[in-house]
């Protein structure tokens, strides 16, 4: 993959701000959000590294690869320095984790000179994903506007938020917060982002937002709104472009494009980066 580095397998305090996109469920728009946040930072003049911890599926890496190809025709197209991390190979689980830790920490050390490091993680539980979360300054957890996705974040009884049990993912985030605090006394800002929103208001969506707002203080996250469900995001993947790229590179701009840019700007303000 052009411009992409796969490193083989020292721990230090990161000078770059690390933003991790995580959720142990696929199909929530992590990679699309990660690319758009990356490009927005590049346009502002920041030096950005991107890391795909889900190298086997590789959606984030393929998006960046498509963007690199587009950059051949448009040299001014801002592109991040991209890395893909692969699982180590060994019959012993302990040895694989050791290899992965050495590989990932070496990579993070090499990213010290960047302003931002954007990390996309798999929609599953893995040691590499946990390690990536422990480096985060900001964790962004996209979820669909669905009680199925809410159940993967926190287990609630009925439609009320007064009886709940943290999900495996919520417990993992809590544990990685502790890992970071122990390692360098750092903190993590956790943002749960309702993404792929319906274009029409619904009772289900209103109830979900009500429950998430009530849960946010109890579980320790901030609530944000992501993108509405738009065809443009699916179309842009193959070209490697984003809604922020210059109009001459995109299909003819529509009201949907303009609205999507406004949603991204609003998200950036919420994240406060």
pLDDT of res. 5: 43
Q: What is the C-alpha to C-alpha distance for residues 247 and 21, in angstroms, rounded to an integer?
A: 28
Percent of the chain with pLDDT over 70: 89
Mean pLDDT over residues 255-270, rounded? Answer: 88
Look up residue 235 and give its two tokens. Answer: 């179309």
Helix (H) or strand (E) holding 156: strand 154-156
pLDDT of res. 252: 66
Q: Supply the mean pLDDT for the chain.
A: 86
pLDDT of res. 139: 97
C-alpha distances (whole Å) from 83 to each of 92, 106, 193 are 25, 12, 25
pLDDT for residue 229 is more than 80: yes
Look up residue 4 and give its two tokens. Answer: 């992409």
Return all residues near 109 (Cβ < 8 A) that are at least 6 apart.
Answer: 10, 12
CATH class of 4-271: alpha beta
pLDDT for residue 188 is more than 70: yes
Q: Using one digit for the tens of pLDDT, what is the confidence trace for 201-225?
A: 777 788 888 888 888 888 889 999 8
pLDDT for residue 107 is more than 90: yes
pLDDT for residue 1 is more than 50: no
pLDDT of res. 22: 95
Bridge partner residues of 193 (DSSP): 142, 224
Among the residues of the chain, which ranges form H helices? 30-43, 59-73, 93-110, 127-134, 147-153, 168-184, 203-219, 231-239, 255-271
Q: What is the C-alpha to C-alpha distance for residues 119 and 107, in angstroms, rounded to an integer?
A: 12
Closest Cα partner for 151 from 138, 133, 169? 169
Mean pLDDT over residues 143-156, rounded? Answer: 84
Mean pLDDT over residues 33-49, rounded? Answer: 96
């Amino acid at each position: 993959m052009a411009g992409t580095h796969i490193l083989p397998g020292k721990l230090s305090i990161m000078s770059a701000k690390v933003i991790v996109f995580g959720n142990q469920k696929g199909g929530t728009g992590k990679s699309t959000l990660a690319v758009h946040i990356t490009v927005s930072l590049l346009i502002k003049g920041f030096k950005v590294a991107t890391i795909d911890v889900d190298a086997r599926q590789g959606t984030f890496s393929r998006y960046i690869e498509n963007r690199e190809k587009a950059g051949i025709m448009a040299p001014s197209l801002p592109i991040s320095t991209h890395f893909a991390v692969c699982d180590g190979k060994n019959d012993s689980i302990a040895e694989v984790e050791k290899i992965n830790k050495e590989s990932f920490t070496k990579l993070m050390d090499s990213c010290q000179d960047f302003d931002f490091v954007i990390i996309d993680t798999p929609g599953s539980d893995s040691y590499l994903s946990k390690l990536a979360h422990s480096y985060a300054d900001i964790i962004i957890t996209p979820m669909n506007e669905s009680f199925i996705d809410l159940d993967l974040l926190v287990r609630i009884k009925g439609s009320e938020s007064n009886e709940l049990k943290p999900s495996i993912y919520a417990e993992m985030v809590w544990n990685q917060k502790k890992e970071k605090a122990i390692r360098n006394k750092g903190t993590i800002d956790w943002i749960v982002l309702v993404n792929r929103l319906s274009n029409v208001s619904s009772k289900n969506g209103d109830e979900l937002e009500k429950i998430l707002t009530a849960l946010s203080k109890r579980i320790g996250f901030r609530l944000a709104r992501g993108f509405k469900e738009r065809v443009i995001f699916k179309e842009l993947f193959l070209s490697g472009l984003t809604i922020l790229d210059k109009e001459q590179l995109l299909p003819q701009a529509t009201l949907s494009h303009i609205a999507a840019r406004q949603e991204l700007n609003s998200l950036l303000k919420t994240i406060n980066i």
